């Protein structure tokens, strides 16, 4: 039987999946958190920069991205494991499994 998740947990899982998919589609697999915030907003995840930074840190803890602070600008780069999750080849609890579209 599936475990019941709260609406906030479902939102976080969906947002993290979108986050990884944006990075996977970028030419160099990296974006700064400002651009990621705008991209998330475009797909219905209007969240604060603090939330985007929090998701980046959480995804880094899971080994799905690496983060680099370049003088206040945080650049996030997807890892091979993150690519596997973004493309549905691996499953990580806390990240929605991708389906067609977002």
Residue 101, Ramachandran bin (φ over 0: left; ψ between -120 and 50: alpha; else beta): left
Residue 97 in any domain: the answer is: no
Residue 99 in any domain: the answer is: no
Burial classification of residue 14, based on how many CB atoms lie within 10 Å of its CB (0-12 exposed, 13-18 middle, 19 or more buried): middle
Residue 100 in any domain: the answer is: no
Here the CATH number for the domain that contains residue 28 is 1.10.10.10
Residue 94 in any domain: the answer is: no
Residue 17 in any domain: the answer is: yes
pLDDT in tens, 12-44: 999 999 999 999 999 999 999 999 999 999 999
What total number of domains does the chain contain?
1
- Residue 52 sits in which domain range? 7-86
Residue 26 is predicted with a pLDDT of: 96
């Amino acid at each position: 039987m599936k475990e019941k998740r709260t609406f906030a947990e479902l939102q976080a899982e969906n947002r993290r999946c979108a986050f990884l998919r944006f990075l996977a589609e970028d030419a160099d697999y990296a974006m700064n958190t400002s651009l990621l915030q705008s991209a998330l907003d475009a797909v219905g995840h209007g969240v604060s920069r603090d939330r985007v930074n929090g998701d980046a840190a959480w995804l880094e803890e899971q080994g799905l991205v690496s983060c680099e602070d370049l003088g206040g600008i945080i650049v996030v780069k997807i890892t091979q494991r993150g690519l596997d999750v973004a493309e549905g080849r691996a499953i990580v609890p806390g990240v929605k499994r991708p389906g067609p579209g977002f």
